[in-house]
Amino acid sequence: MEFLLASALGIVTACGVYLILRGRTFSVVLGLSLLGYAVNLFIFAMGRLTSGHPPVIVDQATSYADPLPQALVLTAIVIGFGMTGFIVELALRTRNDTKSDHVDGQEPEQSSGSISASQDGKAT
């Protein structure tokens, strides 16, 4: 089970980094969200979650569930949702101002040497 969780955490992190490095703002927003989810999974994994144990220490309890990871992840979810909304609003504002969805505000130039059509319609 630990290998499965570690693999899922690695895949979500890799996908988030890949999307952040893309050239469009929507991909960057999705990448930041995925990285937030990866951080939440990491906090859960480091918290050593236990099931069936009380969250509050009683007199004779030998094992208890630590409520701190749940509180941290709940706070991170709320903050992540707020930041995602803010980033989406910034992306929409930038799109309206620059008329481009590219992260630097300029569309990449098309290379004229890759495909050029001759007079008879054949590609050279």
DSSP 50-91: -SSS-SS--TT-S----SHHHHHHHHHHHHHHHHHHHHHHHH
pTM recorded for the entire structure = 0.72
Domain count, the chain: 1
Q: Of 41, 33, 42, nearest to 15 (Cα)?
A: 33
81 is a domain residue:
yes
Would residue 113 count as lying in a domain? Answer: no
Residue 88 lies in a domain: yes
Q: How many residues does the chain have?
A: 124
Parent domain of 29: 2-51+66-98
In a domain, 23, yes or no: yes
99-113 as b/e: b if 16+ CB within 10 A: eeeebeeeeeeeeee
37-82 pLDDT tens trace: 999 989 888 877 667 777 677 777 677 777 788 888 899 999 999 9
Is residue 30 included in any domain, yes or no? yes
Q: What distance separates the 2 farthest-apart alpha carbons in the chain? A: 90
Q: Determine, yes or no, domain membership for 43.
A: yes
Tens of pLDDT, residues 41-52? 898 888 776 677
